[in-house]
């Protein structure tokens, strides 16, 4: 049986999309992609993603939302190589760390830092909330790292073998790098060393080159740049040029 070709809807600059693309890369899965930001999705996008969030995975007639659900779906369909621990306790811990990344790091890094310095300024033409950004950078994210540091391994990965926990957490710290936040190796040495190992993985390194190329390209103009890089961008898009916010508010 041939490997199916999936279709992904979502921007390469999203940590949630990055998590899915890394999993797909590690599993050797083929896909096409409509690289839109959720803010530029049209009515058809909203029919597929009622919360106006990315990524969306399309597998034939099946539409799957939420990066965690997508990654578990891909794991169930393509169990080798496994990205979830076999031991049920460690598997639960991996899922918890993924949830911590999606929820808490998503709130701090994406909503309060990346969104403030990126889409809010350049897409919606609104002023950055510098108070919120500075508090996230100087207080909230360091508190997250204080919690993560004791759990980080001296070498290797969080739960022994590379898992969804590593992929999820590293995906968010990539967005922190976009707003010039780097982990202080003196204060959080294990976290800094672990993140270096994660970013050196071919799946992350390949995406980083793409992300760096498009990071300063206006969102509506990214698709042709991605095609020129050889990325499997779909001919049709659910995107528009009129930005709108999702139903779950970002301040």
Q: Are residues 125 and 208 in the same domain?
A: no
- pLDDT at position 244 is 84
Say how many domains are in the chain.
Answer: 2
Is residue 248 assigned to a domain?
Answer: no
Q: Are residues 111 and 210 in the same domain?
A: no
Is residue 239 assigned to a domain?
Answer: no
Q: Are residues 92 and 31 in the same domain?
A: no
- pLDDT at position 242 is 87
Question: DSSP characters for the chain?
Answer: -PPPEEEEES-TT-HHHHHHHHHHHHTT-EEEEE---GGGB-HHHHHH-TT--S-EEEETTEEEESHHHHHHHHHHH--SS--S-SSHHHHHHHHHHHHHIIIIIIIIIIIIIIHHHTHHHHTS-----HHHHHHIIIIIHHHHHHHHGGGS-SSSBTBBB--HHHHHHHHHHHHHHHTT----TTTSHHHHHHHHHHHHSHHHHHHHHHHHHHTTS-GGGHHHHHHHTT--B-SS-SB-SS----SS---
Q: For the chain, which ranges sit under pLDDT 70? A: 1-4, 246-251
Q: Are residues 178 and 116 in the same domain?
A: yes
- The domain spanning residue 11 has which CATH number? 3.40.30.10
Q: Are residues 185 and 111 in the same domain?
A: yes
Q: Are residues 187 and 218 in the same domain?
A: no
Q: Are residues 133 and 212 in the same domain?
A: no
- pLDDT at position 175 is 97
Is-contact 162 83, C-beta < 8 A? yes
Range of the domain at 139: 88-201
Q: Are residues 187 and 115 in the same domain?
A: yes
Count of beta carbons in the 10 Å neighbourhood of residue 27: 19
Is residue 251 assigned to a domain?
Answer: no
Q: Are residues 190 and 102 in the same domain?
A: yes
- pLDDT at position 247 is 56
Q: Are residues 194 and 209 in the same domain?
A: no
- The domain spanning residue 149 has which CATH number? 1.20.1050.10
Q: Are residues 114 and 72 in the same domain?
A: no
- pLDDT at position 234 is 97
Is residue 68 assigned to a domain?
Answer: yes
Q: Are residues 196 and 95 in the same domain?
A: yes
């Amino acid at each position: 049986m041939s490997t199916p070709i999936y279709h992904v809807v979502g921007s390469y600059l999203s940590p949630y999309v990055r998590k899915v693309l890394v999993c797909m890369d590690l599993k050797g899965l083929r896909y096409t992609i409509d690289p839109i930001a959720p803010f530029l999705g049209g009515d058809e996008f909203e029919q597929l993603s009622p919360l106006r969030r990315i990524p969306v995975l399309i597998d034939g007639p099946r539409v799957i939302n939420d990066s965690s659900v997508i990654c578990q779906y891909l794991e169930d369909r393509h169990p080798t190589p496994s990205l979830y621990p076999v031991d049920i306790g460690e598997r639960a811990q991996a899922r918890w760390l993924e949830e911590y990344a999606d929820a808490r790091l998503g709130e701090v890094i994406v909503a309060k830092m990346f969104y403030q310095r990126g889409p809010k300024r350049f897409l919606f033409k609104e002023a950055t909330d510098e108070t919120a950004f500075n508090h996230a950078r100087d207080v909230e994210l360091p508190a997250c790292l204080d919690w993560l540091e004791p759990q980080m391994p001296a070498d290797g990965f969080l739960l022994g073998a590379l898992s969804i926990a590593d992929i999820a957490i590293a995906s968010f710290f990539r967005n922190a790098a976009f707003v010039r936040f780097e982990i202080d190796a003196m204060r959080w040495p294990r976290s800094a060393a672990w993140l270096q190992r994660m970013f050196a993985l071919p799946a992350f390194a390949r995406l980083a080159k793409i992300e760096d190329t498009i990071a300063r390209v206006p969102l509506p103009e990214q698709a042709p740049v991605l095609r020129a890089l050889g990325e499997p961008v779909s001919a049709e898009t659910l995107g528009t040029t009129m930005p709108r916010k999702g139903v779950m508010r970002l301040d």
